[in-house]
């Protein structure tokens, strides 16, 4: 079901499968509209189903990735690209390894960089040189983080090095053998980098995200809930499953 609430276009789907199909269709339509556009990708559990649908569409020749340029939101730091938990590895495993993308046009912050400050600066410059991001895909953390912009006193603007919140480390430990193995820091696009994207797609799944989904759309705009800044963006589409939308449903 499609709803419009202020700047948000909100799709509420019955389950994870239909959420993934809807999100993939929106991305595919954008790729068709901008075959050589600049696309921002996210990692994490949420977009895996969406990426599976995109792989199927690419196999069926329904979408062509060959001209697009991509920038991923974030990467653990430090981490080797060969580490199966790196976001570089994740993107190959879940999307880039299975579609006709030009690997020279893929950008992911370099978790192996010697100098993290210059890697951040360089990443931001590469985005600017490409002309900015046309379409940014986002997930959301339980604490409202987007990318790895954790709750803070102020919004962090451009690509930067960040210490991860304990809650994020715990949430992400499901992908690792133990909590101790989760990297404690990362490189992430900043809030301004994300907000400068021309269009944003936020995907939210599961009952545990119902509170933060509600806060994002209806709460005060505060760096304590980084995703709340999306209320200030002119073109945000949110795709949720029914469980994640539970709390917001009465108000839209
Ligand atoms: C991933 C990212 C994070 C995730 C968020 C939700 O690139 O930037 O903000 O989107 O942590 O992760 P999942 O989908 O695993 O709940």
Predicted confidence at residue 133, as pLDDT, reads 98
Cα angle, residue 109 at apex, residues 75 and 221 outer, rounded to 5° = 65
CA of 43 to the centre of ligand 1 (A): 6
Residue 239 near residue 204, CB atoms below 8 Å = yes
Mean pLDDT of 88-113: 98
CA 126 to chain centre: 18
Predicted confidence at residue 117, as pLDDT, reads 98
Strand (E) positions, 164-228?
Answer: 185-188, 199-204
Tell me the chain's radius of gyration from C-alpha atoms: 17
Looking at the chain, the whole-number percentage of residues with pLDDT higher than 70 is 100
Cα angle, residue 52 at apex, residues 26 and 149 outer, rounded to 5° = 70
CA of 150 to the centre of ligand 1 (A): 11
Q: Sign of dihedral through CA atoms 47, 123, 80, 176?
A: negative
Q: Is 210 helix (H, G, I), strand (E, B) or coil?
A: helix
CA of 42 to the centre of ligand 1 (A): 7
Predicted confidence at residue 116, as pLDDT, reads 98
B/e letters for 217-229, b = 16+ CB within 10 Å, e = fewer, are: bebeeebebbbbb
**Position in ligand 1 atom list of the atom nearest CA 42:** 7
From atom 1 of ligand 1, which residue's Cα is the shortest distance away? Answer: 43
**Position in ligand 1 atom list of the atom nearest CA 72:** 7
Residue 190 near residue 158, CB atoms below 8 Å = yes
CA of 136 to the centre of ligand 1 (A): 13
Among 189, 190, 200, CA closest to 231:
200
From atom 12 of ligand 1, which residue's Cα is the shortest distance away? Answer: 44
Greatest pairwise CA separation for the chain in angstroms: 50
To test the pocket of ligand 1, the residue of 72, 95, 140 to mutate (highest count of ligand atoms within 8 Å of its CB) is 140
Mean pLDDT of 19-30: 98
Mean pLDDT of 69-92: 97
Give me the active site residues, please. Answer: 74, 143, 145, 150
CA of 36 to the centre of ligand 1 (A): 26
Tens digits of per-residue pLDDT, 183-234? 999 999 999 999 999 999 999 999 999 999 999 999 999 999 999 999 999 9
Predicted confidence at residue 241, as pLDDT, reads 98
From atom 11 of ligand 1, which residue's Cα is the shortest distance away? Answer: 141
Q: Determine which of 17-26, 112-121, 170-179, 185-194 has the lowest per-residue pLDDT on average.
A: 170-179
Name every protein residue with a CB atom under 6 angstroms from any ligand 1 atom.
42-46, 73-74, 139-141, 145-148
Rounded CA-CA distance 233/16 in Å is 26
To test the pocket of ligand 1, the residue of 141, 209, 230 to mutate (highest count of ligand atoms within 8 Å of its CB) is 141
């Amino acid at each position: 079901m499609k709803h419009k609430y202020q700047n948000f276009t909100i799709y509420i789907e019955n389950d994870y499968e239909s959420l993934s199909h809807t999100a993939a269709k929106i991305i595919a339509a954008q790729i068709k509209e901008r075959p050589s556009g600049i696309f921002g990708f996210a990692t994490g559990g949420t977009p895996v189903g969406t990426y599976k649908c995109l792989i199927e569409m690419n196999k069926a020749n329904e979408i062509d990735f060959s001209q697009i340029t991509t920038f991923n939101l974030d990467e653990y730091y430090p981490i080797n690209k060969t580490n199966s938990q790196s976001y570089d590895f994740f993107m190959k495993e879940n999307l880039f390894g299975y579609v006709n993308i030009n690997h020279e046009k893929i950008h992911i912050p370099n978790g192996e960089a010697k100098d993290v400050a210059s890697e951040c600066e360089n990443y931001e410059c590469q985005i600017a040189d490409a002309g900015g991001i046309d379409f940014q895909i986002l997930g959301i953390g339980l604490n409202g983080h987007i990318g790895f912009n954790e709750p803070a006193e102020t919004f962090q603007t451009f690509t930067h090095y960040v210490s991860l919140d304990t809650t994020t480390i715990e949430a992400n430990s499901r992908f690792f053998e133990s909590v101790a193995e989760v990297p404690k820091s990362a490189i992430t696009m900043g809030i301004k980098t994300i907000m400068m994207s021309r269009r944003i797609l936020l995907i939210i799944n599961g009952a545990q995200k119902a509170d933060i989904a509600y806060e994002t759309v209806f709460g005060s705009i505060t760096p304590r809930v980084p995703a709340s800044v999306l209320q200030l963006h002119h073109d945000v589409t949110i795709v949720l499953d029914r469980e994640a939308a539970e709390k917001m449903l009465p108000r839209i």
